[in-house]
Amino acid sequence: MRFEAFSRRAAEQRSDCLVIGVFERGELGPEALAVDRALRGRLRAVLARGDFSGRTGETQLISELSGLKSARLLLVGLGKKAQFNRRLWRRSLTSAIHALARTRVVSAALALERPPGRELNDYYFGRATAELTGAALYRINDLKSARRPRPPALARILVGPIDSTVLGAVREGLAAGAALAESAQLLRNLGNLPANVCTPRYLAAQARELERTYRRRLRVRVFDLTGIRRLKMGCLLAVTRGSEEPPRFIVLEYRGARRGRAPLVLVGKGVTFDSGGISLKDPPAMDEMKFDMCGAATVLAAIDYAARRELKLNLVGLVPACENMPDGRAVKPGDIVTSASGQTVEVLNTDAEGRLILSDALNYARRYEPAAVIDFATLTGACVIALGSHFSGVMGNDDELARELVEAGTRTDDRAWQLPLTEDYAEQLRSNFADFANVAGRDGGAITAAAFLGKFTQGLKWAHMDIAGTAWTSGANKGATGRPLSLVGDFLSRRAGG
Ligand code: BES
Ligand code: MN
Ligand code: ZN
């Protein structure tokens, strides 16, 4: 997909289809008014027939119009003018792309009303436009045997009219958004693949693939079972014990800045299937535990994005990957294991496996003397209870870092909310038999999980993102969402200095 910005009036822009917004009750913004003038009043005449209500997301394609430089005109409902905001703009834009994807339109000129408010400045307007277009055109990498329907013809998106003084900022945003859309596709594809395809070895192969693509700046190392034993990652080894599928510990090192500069380390939970282990989960929706590697996929996609944009920072990705399965050899409730940090853990519930594998990876992060460490994990059902599917949870030991992430989420509409992680919560992990336990009862479950991770990040600037509620959707639209890549991409861009 190519994205371009234009400055001339929409009616003057050449394309296969011009897309304009129409508010409810036929209210027209400046571009729509100019289009109506170019059409000598025929837009108003069409609206006067009353077939098009202008409700958010409603679309109507008009093919036989002369007076425009575009062959077709697509009307998109923007809802009530007084209520128009960023959220409704995002919905309208998505509907417009869906409508275009059903046609043979190759190039489309988007001239929707821009959402009001200072927050969505020119850069973020361009970024969101490209990103939303990519997301709307995403097709699930299903394994259906029937022949695939013809893919959409859409290949060129023109955005305007953009004041010539801000063309640069919009173009920058479009470029960032286009890259994000590509990386999000990688993330979503990995998430959607079933666990019998997307195994720890498959994730490692994907990392190798990235290494081939970005050979100049990216180095990948993969530890197998023997290597993981040598690293003394007793927690990762405990989780993988019950599975026939071999584990991997994947290390990606991206160099975009001078050698001495402290890297950011991103850690991603890579449980390719979480049955719960001996503390077996209930059957309903257990299939969704194939998404339990979305943290890992976020890290791979973030590295892909940084490398694609050649961001000027050093970045390390760490992915502990394994399955969590019940078996005669599986770790049992009450077993005590020794983590790579030397601390002992009483595994009271084998379904709290994410924090176990993350703890060994977080400890591994120390060797980089990182500027900051951020982990991404579909870690707790409790976080879904607390925040639903709208906000990711942010916790950590550095409020400045947490704030940076939350603000990145606000700018990108990939929202996150900080939960309090104070010492009180760590006390709930007390054990009579080991340094601490891996669970602490139901109360504050999202936070006690983070408190467990906090045992392994002392002295590091660390933040944890619980994406259990945001990484995928259930129900009829089951599938990976691509979150929180948009947030992470913005955080990385800023850290790289724009
Ligand atoms: N992967 C799950 C968390 C999860 C559950 C994410 C449902 C999304 C939907 C994680 O490994 C897990 O099982 N967590 C347990 C922790 C509990 C045993 C303390 C949970 O949340 O129930
Ligand atoms: Mn679990
Ligand atoms: Zn899990």
Structure confidence by residue, pLDDT tens digits, 347-376: 999 999 999 999 999 999 999 999 999 999
Confidence of residue 177 (pLDDT cuts 50, 70, 90): very high
Q: Which of 117-121, 223-227, 284-288 shows the lowest mean pLDDT across its residues?
A: 117-121
What is the percent of the chain with per-residue pLDDT over 70, rounded to a whole number?
99
**pTM for this structure?**
0.98
With CA atoms as reference, report the closest residue to 193 among 185, 325, 308.
Answer: 185
Per-residue pLDDT tens digits for 293-303: 999 999 999 99
Confidence of residue 450 (pLDDT cuts 50, 70, 90): very high
Confidence of residue 254 (pLDDT cuts 50, 70, 90): very high
User: pLDDT value at position 148?
Assistant: 84
Dist. CA 340 → ligand 2 center (Å): 20
Dist. CA 300 → ligand 3 center (Å): 18
Confidence of residue 115 (pLDDT cuts 50, 70, 90): confident
| Cβ of 199 less than 6 Å from ligand 1 | no
> Cα(first)–Cα(last) distance of the chain, in Å?
23
pLDDT at 117 over 80: no
Integer Cα distance of 81 and 206 in angstroms: 46
Confirm whether 355 is a catalytic residue. Answer: yes
Cβ pair 50, 140 in contact under 8 A:
no
User: pLDDT value at position 118?
Assistant: 61
**Which helix (H) or strand (E) is 376 found in, with range?**
strand 372-377
Cβ pair 350, 330 in contact under 8 A:
yes
pLDDT at 498 over 80: no
Query: How does the average pLDDT of the chain come out, rounded?
Result: 97
Residue having the nearest C-alpha atom to atom 13 of ligand 1 = 351
| Cβ of 58 less than 6 Å from ligand 1 | no
User: pLDDT value at position 65?
Assistant: 81
| Cβ of 292 less than 6 Å from ligand 1 | yes
Confidence of residue 119 (pLDDT cuts 50, 70, 90): low
pLDDT at 459 over 90: yes
Residue having the nearest C-alpha atom to atom 16 of ligand 1 = 352
Integer Cα distance of 493 and 482 in angstroms: 18
Token pair for residue 168? 């640069």
| Cβ of 467 less than 6 Å from ligand 1 | no
The residue that leads in pLDDT, 151 or 445, is 445
Peptide bond into 161 cis (omega under 30): yes
With CA atoms as reference, report the closest residue to 375 among 486, 296, 460, 275.
Answer: 296
| Cβ of 382 less than 6 Å from ligand 1 | yes
Integer Cα distance of 464 and 441 in angstroms: 20
Query: To test the ligand 1 pocket, which listed residue (278, 291, 351) has its Cβ within 8 A of the most ligand atoms?
Result: 351
Confirm whether 69 is a catalytic residue. Answer: no
Amino acid present at 453 = L
Name the active-site residue from 281, 366, 461, 478.
281
Ligand at shortest distance from the CA of 452: 1
| Cβ of 378 less than 6 Å from ligand 1 | yes
With CA atoms as reference, report the closest residue to 234 among 381, 434, 374.
Answer: 434
What is the percent of the chain with per-residue pLDDT over 90, rounded to a whole number?
95
The DSSP result for 405-439, as a single string, is HHHHHHHHT--EEE----HHHHHTT--SSSSEES-
User: pLDDT value at position 458?
Assistant: 98
User: pLDDT value at position 403?
Assistant: 98
Per-residue pLDDT tens digits for 376-418: 999 999 999 999 999 999 999 999 999 999 999 999 999 999 9
Dist. CA 403 → ligand 1 center (Å): 25
